[in-house]
């Protein structure tokens, strides 16, 4: 499309040029073929500046057209991404999650949407079943209302049991984590930062500090090339779900491969049970504590032996008397 090509050539478009492009783009885009739409969206995803109305319009297109734009465009504001995620389905949300970086504001909104999706999906089932029952209109409406209320309560109970799987980073402030070892905001930020720069040495140090364990345990966890042990540890510590996915994909590239529209790292974390993760990590920490204490005790004993061997002995009493006579 000539309009897209001319806009793409503008390095710093003015307000009037942005407004003019927004007015021309929508009707031209709607009149184009699917292939032309894909080419236009692919070209616009590389632009640094984009009218908010155009970004929202493209993001609300079918996911096979909008996905490249949602994944790669840097011109989409956080509020626009949140609006698209709320208006569209899971496919658009997965495309947004695939972006290189997401702000905390967008992450919180996506987690909130993920909690509500099972409720909206299951709430529609009783409506179809009750419509097929040959009852009077008043009875049908009453049965529908009761079924929806019962389904809503059941969904709420189910979500309480899965809240840590779906939104681990919200678990930091949840009463369910009372008494559990939990990452502080600073510790989580350091782990994400060292993972982003792939500084494995610093990451191991920060992980050992978060576990209150030896560095040997942190290194052993990271040496598991499947990433399963690190995923278990991050889940036990209550790291945010999306942050944990990012960490796994940075240290274990094979977990960044796409499977069923999500990465393998996402699937590994989503399959973990938080209670089992707590038990495993605590077992690792107990074993590490016994091993580390034994090694520290042996090292301290050897140092005390060496110090005792070479310590300066007090002079004999006879020598002290001789020294006194000489001083006179």
Angle between helices 215-222 and 228-237 (to 10 degrees): 130
Q: What backbone phi and psi angles, to 5 degrees, belong to 120?
A: -70, -30
On whether both 200 and 301 belong to a single domain, the answer is: yes
Residue indicated by tokens 């600073």: 186
Note whether 293 and 187 are same-domain residues: yes
| Residue 281 covered by a domain | yes
Q: What pLDDT does 161 receive?
A: 61
Last residue of a domain, one of 100, 117, 142: 100
Q: Return d(Cα 319, Cα 328) in angstroms, integer.
A: 15
Question: Which parts of the chain have pLDDT scores under 70?
Answer: 1, 8, 11, 114-142, 160-178, 292-328
Does the predicted TM-score (pTM) go above 0.85? no
183 and 306 both lie in a single domain? yes
Domain-located, residue 151:
no
Q: Do the domain assignments include residue 320?
A: no
Length of the chain: 328
Structural domain range at position 197: 179-310
Using the 3D structure, point to which of 57, 83, 100 is the last residue of a domain: 100
pLDDT at 194: 94
DSSP 3-state assignment of 258? strand
Count structural domains, the chain.
2
pLDDT of residue 30: 84
| 17 in Cβ contact with 3 (< 8 Å) | no
Residue 149 placed within a domain: no
In a domain, residue 68? The reply is yes
Q: Is residue 159 part of a domain?
A: no
Tell me how crowded residue 288 is: count the other CB atoms within 10 A of its CB: 19
- Domain-ending residue, one of 34, 68, 100: 100
Terminal Cα-to-Cα distance of the chain (whole angstroms): 111
Residue 172 lies in a domain: no
119-174 pLDDT per residue, tens:
444 444 444 444 444 444 545 566 777 778 788 787 777 776 666 555 444 444 44
Q: Which of 183, 163, 175, 313 is nearest to 237 (CA)?
A: 183
Domain assignment present for residue 165? The answer is no
């Amino acid at each position: 499309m000539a309009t897209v090509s001319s806009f793409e050539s503008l390095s710093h478009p003015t307000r009037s040029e942005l407004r003019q492009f927004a007015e021309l783009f929508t009707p031209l885009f709607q009149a184009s073929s699917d292939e032309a739409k894909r080419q236009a969206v692919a070209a616009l995803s590389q632009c640094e500046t984009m009218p908010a109305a155009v970004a929202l319009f493209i993001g609300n297109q079918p996911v096979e057209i909008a996905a490249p734009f949602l994944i790669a465009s840097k011109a989409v504001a956080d509020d626009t991404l949140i609006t698209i995620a709320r208006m569209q389905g899971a496919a658009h949300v997965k495309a947004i999650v695939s972006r290189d970086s997401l702000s905390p504001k967008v992450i919180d909104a996506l987690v909130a949407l993920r909690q509500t999706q099972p409720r909206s999906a299951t709430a529609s089932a009783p409506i179809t079943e009750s419509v097929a029952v040959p009852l009077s209109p008043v009875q049908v409406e009453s049965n529908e209302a009761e079924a929806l209320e019962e389904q809503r309560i059941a969904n709420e109970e189910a979500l309480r049991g899965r809240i840590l799987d779906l939104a681990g980073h919200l678990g930091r402030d949840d009463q369910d984590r009372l008494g559990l070892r939990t990452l502080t905001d600073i510790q989580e930020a350091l782990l994400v930062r060292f993972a982003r720069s792939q500084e494995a040495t610093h990451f191991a140090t920060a992980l050992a500090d978060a576990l209150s364990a030896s560095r040997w345990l942190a290194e052993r966890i990271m040496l598991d090339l499947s990433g399963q042990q690190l995923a278990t540890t991050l889940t036990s510590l209550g790291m945010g779900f999306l942050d944990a996915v990012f960490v796994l994909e940075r240290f274990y590239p094979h977990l960044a491969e796409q499977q069923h529209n999500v990465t393998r790292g996402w699937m590994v974390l989503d399959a973990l049970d938080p209670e089992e993760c707590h038990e495993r990590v605590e077992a690792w920490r107990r074993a590490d504590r016994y091993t580390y204490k034994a090694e520290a005790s042996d090292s301290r004993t050897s140092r005390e032996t060496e110090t005792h061997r070479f310590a300066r002995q007090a002079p004999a009493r006879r020598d002290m008397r001789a020294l006194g006579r000489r001083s006179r």
